[in-house]
């Protein structure tokens, strides 16, 4: 048991060095990088498709698709006409910073304003691995239930923004919005929460506006350095 703890510590320590290197690289090219985390089926890819559709007239967007297997999601995103690269983890249940460091060699960062990393669908270990991102998005869908915040607190604690997806399903599922907001507040008191439906577009404008503003902030940060 002790040995396992030591091993995990050193893995995370090694990851942090890669993450810092990635962050410097993103900063140098003034690219805002977003790490999108959720369980499988919460709607990461659908959210991403619609976000790109709304954003691509303002920003140059690139996407790294993380999946255990297949290129299905990457194909959907590439169909939006944005630069998309795939990481297949072949069993690993999260992305790490070294994988990102390797894959960004295939991306012209100077040609991007926003880079979104769609993590492997999993609410557990992606929370532990800093990829060098600027912003971490925790996505939950109403179909999963608000108790996921209590069960997987790390993801929500370490996020910069929370998105509740599939609000179009609220009349059909037992999702307690009030309790959801309360539980998020407990682990991350000042975090912005966006409620939306990536399927029908409801609530998307608030999220898009926020993201555009964050990209602008990142640009200013780079210029003042």
Binding residues for Mg ion, per CB under 5 A?
A: 44-45, 73
CB of 213 to Mg ion, least distance (A): 25
Q: 174: which DSSP letter?
A: -
CB of 138 to Zn ion, least distance (A): 16
Provide the CA 50 distance to its chain's centre, in angstroms: 14
Q: How far apart are CA 28 and CA 23, in angstroms?
A: 9
Name the residue nearer to Zn ion (CB basis): 125 or 187. Answer: 125
CB of 152 to Zn ion, least distance (A): 13
User: Is 81:1 a contact under the CB 8 Å cutoff?
Assistant: no
* 7 near Zn ion (CB under 5 A): no
Among Zn ion, Mg ion, none, the one that 17 touches (CB under a kind-dependent 5 to 8 A) is: none
For the chain, the distance separating the N- and C-terminal CA atoms, rounded to the nearest angstrom, is: 45
* 94 near Zn ion (CB under 5 A): yes
CB of 96 to Zn ion, least distance (A): 9
Total of residues contacting Zn ion (CB under 5 A): 3
Q: How far apart are CA 47 and CA 197, in angstroms?
A: 8
Cβ neighbours of residue 196 closer than 8 Å, sequence gap 6 or more: 47, 163, 164, 165, 167, 202, 203, 204, 206, 207
Among Zn ion, Mg ion, none, the one that 166 touches (CB under a kind-dependent 5 to 8 A) is: none
Among Zn ion, Mg ion, none, the one that 177 touches (CB under a kind-dependent 5 to 8 A) is: none
* 72 near Zn ion (CB under 5 A): no
CB of 122 to Mg ion, least distance (A): 11
* 125 near Zn ion (CB under 5 A): yes
Element (H, E) at 224: helix 204-224
Quick one: which segment of 23-31, 120-128, 152-160, 163-171 binds Zn ion (CB under 5 A)? 120-128
Q: How far apart are CA 144 and CA 50, in angstroms?
A: 21
Among Zn ion, Mg ion, none, the one that 93 touches (CB under a kind-dependent 5 to 8 A) is: Zn ion
């Amino acid at each position: 048991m002790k040995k396992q703890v030591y091993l995990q510590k050193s893995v995370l320590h090694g990851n942090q060095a890669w993450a810092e290197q990635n962050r410097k690289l993103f900063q140098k090219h003034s690219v805002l990088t977003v790490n999108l985390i959720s369980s499988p089926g919460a709607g990461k890819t659908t959210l991403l498709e619609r976000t790109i559709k709304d954003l691509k007239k303002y920003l140059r967007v690139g996407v790294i698709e993380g999946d255990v297997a297949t290129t299905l999601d990457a194909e959907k995103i590439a169909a939006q006409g944005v630069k998309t690269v795939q990481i297949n983890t072949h069993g690993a249940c999260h992305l790490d910073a070294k994988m990102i460091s390797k894959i960004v060699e295939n991306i012209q960062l100077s040609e991007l304003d926003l880079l979104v990393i769609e993590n492997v669908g999993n609410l557990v270990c992606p929370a532990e691995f800093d990829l060098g991102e600027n912003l971490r998005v925790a996505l939950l869908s109403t179909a999963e239930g608000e108790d996921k915040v209590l069960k997987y607190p790390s993801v929500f604690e370490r996020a910069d923004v929370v998105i509740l997806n599939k609000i179009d399903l609220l009349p059909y599922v037992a999702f307690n919005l009030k309790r959801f907001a309360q539980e998020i507040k407990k682990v991350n008191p000042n975090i912005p929460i966006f409620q939306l439906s990536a399927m029908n577009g409801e609530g998307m404008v608030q999220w898009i506006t926020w993201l555009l503003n964050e990209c602008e902030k990142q640009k200013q940060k780079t210029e003042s350095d």
